[in-house]
Amino acid sequence: MFFRMIKGAIFRQRSRMLILLFTIFLGTTLATGMLNVVYDVGDKINMELKTYGANINITSRDNAIISDLYGMDDANLDRKYLKESDLPKIKGIFWAYNVVDFAPYLEFKVNRESESPIKAVGTWFEKDFKSPTGEEYVTGIKNLKTWWHIDGQILQDDGASKIMVGSNLAKERGISLGDYMNLTGFDGKNHEFEVAAIFKSGSAEDNQIFMSMDNAYKLSGLKDSISRVELSALTTPDNELARRAAQNPKSLSLTDFDTWYCTAYVSSICYQIESVIPDALAKPIRQVAESEGEILNKTKLIMLLITVLTLISSALAISNLISAGVIERSKEIGLLKALGGQGGQIVLKLLTEILAIAVIGVLSGYVTGTLFANVISLVVFGSRSELKLVVLPIVSFLIFIVVLLGSLPAIRNLLKLKPAEVLHGR
């Protein structure tokens, strides 16, 4: 009989129940969507911040003392180099997954006819390589330097005789796209290169020429050598522990060290890189690393507060509607009372009805909410958001609490009703 009454209530008062269902459904959709979005908004914004370029600079330990600032270093004398063949090991560190992109640079000077020497750089553009674990990766400056404005065709990582020229250099020396340049190598031989692209970076690279590693080795004679590596990694904002560790990792206690090592702080990623590449010195570029942390924290906080607001508003909307719905049914409840229904039985009946509706609303709302989060993610960030199962229990718990709290005051009021008064019509 109980179930028949509930079924009857749900199906007979179809329009009223549909409105309730729809509200719960919308509320759940919004809550699920927002929770999903807020859950990985940090990762997504972090990914976007990668457009600021590398946050870690790797050089040779012996070479790190006085760098090539303001033309202080002449020639290629006495420089120590890292090995290109060591680079794939970077993808074998504990936080390998967080290493988004990196690019090696071999910097040297070349001569063009009788003009003053030009700074040339060999690098990876879009290089395929295999990590020690056998996975394939693609990396290079094409992804690392997204803000570069490239006129022409970006180079390939092959031995083709092509170069990219910085815009300032091109203007200064009157070089234009499609020209052929004669560059003199370390052995005095001339090599002819086609200018395949002219790029504008807004920094010192605009005075340099870029070429593939193979060509750089050919011109400089420095086989398997690189001067430095720029690396872009997803990192966790620094806290007090990270700052202590950055001074000296060995000063940490064993548990602190483990925590630090297993968190993606920029200092722990640097530490791990130094341990896989011989003679490497990895340093965070503070301009990028520090600022990222600030912005990430602020963004997360904004999204969290917005989520709280939307959760509260959907909670209020749902409970508002439920109490309105319950008040409307005073006549029905008066009748039930007149027929001898006990207070408890009536409450049970009403709650079961509402909860039955809520279950349907929450489940369908969860599905659409997840879809909705995916759509937001695709539209805004161009990538899908992962399915987060933990959101389901959170959302269902919240909605059920809201539904119960929303209906209780109204139900209590109804129980005080006098059947005679209600049935008579006030």
Partner 1 sequence: MVDKDVKRANRKMFRRMLLSSLTKRKSKMLVAIFSILIGACVFFGLSTIYLEVPKQMSKEFRAYGANMIFLPHNQEYLSLEDVEYLKSQIGESEISGITYYSYENVTINEQPMVVAATNIEDSYKTNPYWYIQGGLPQDRDDIIIGNEIAKLLYLKVGDRIAINGYDVNGEKFLKGFKVCGILQTGKSEESLVFVDYNRMKELTKKEDRIGVIEASILRDKEGLYSLEERISAESDRITPVLVKSVADSEYRVLSKLQALIFIVNVIVLLLTMVCVFTTMMAAVSERRKEIGLKKALGALPEEIFNEFISESIVLSVFGSLIGVALGFQFSQSVSLHVFSRGVEFNLIVAVFTVFACVVTTVISSVLPIKKAMMVEPAIVLRGE
Map the footprint of partner 1 across residues 181-200, applying CB under 8 A: 200
Q: Residue 332 contacts by C-beta under 8 Å, 6 or more apart in sequence?
A: none
Instruction: Give the footprint of partner 1 on residues 323-342 (CB under 8 A).
Output: 323-325, 327-328
Q: How far is the CB of 184 from partner 1 (least distance, A)?
A: 28
Q: How far is the CB of 342 from partner 1 (least distance, A)?
A: 26
Residue among 22 and 137 whose Cβ is closer to partner 1: 22
Beta-bridged to residue 283, according to DSSP, are 57
For partner 1, which residue of 8, 92, 117, 202 counts as binding (CB under 8 A)? 202
Our finding on whether 283 is near partner 1 (CB under 8 A) is: yes
CA distance 147 to 53: 9
Q: Residue 286 contacts by C-beta under 8 Å, 6 or more apart in sequence?
A: none
Our finding on whether 361 is near partner 1 (CB under 8 A) is: no
Tokens coding 42? 């940090």
Our finding on whether 271 is near partner 1 (CB under 8 A) is: no
Phi-psi region of 216 (alpha: psi -120 to 50; beta: other; left: phi over 0): alpha
Site of tokens 């969860």? 366
Residue among 104 and 325 whose Cβ is closer to partner 1: 325
Our finding on whether 320 is near partner 1 (CB under 8 A) is: yes
Residue pair 169/78 in contact by the 8 Å Cβ criterion: no
* Binding flags for partner 1, 379-408, as an x/- string (CB under 8 A): xxx---------------------------
Our finding on whether 121 is near partner 1 (CB under 8 A) is: no
Residue pair 132/91 in contact by the 8 Å Cβ criterion: yes
CA distance 139 to 130: 11
Instruction: Give the footprint of partner 1 on residues 129-188 (CB under 8 A).
Output: 145-149
For partner 1, which residue of 190, 291, 342, 383 counts as binding (CB under 8 A)? 291
* Binding flags for partner 1, 28-67, as an x/- string (CB under 8 A): --x--xx--x---x--xx--xx-xxx--xx------xxxx
For partner 1, which residue of 5, 22, 98, 351 counts as binding (CB under 8 A)? 22
**Ranges of H-type helices in 68-185:** 141-144, 167-173
Q: How far is the CB of 306 from partner 1 (least distance, A)?
A: 6
Residue 74: exposure state from Cβ atoms within 10 A (0-12, 13-18, ≥19): exposed
Q: How far is the CB of 207 from partner 1 (least distance, A)?
A: 12
Site of tokens 């049970």? 348
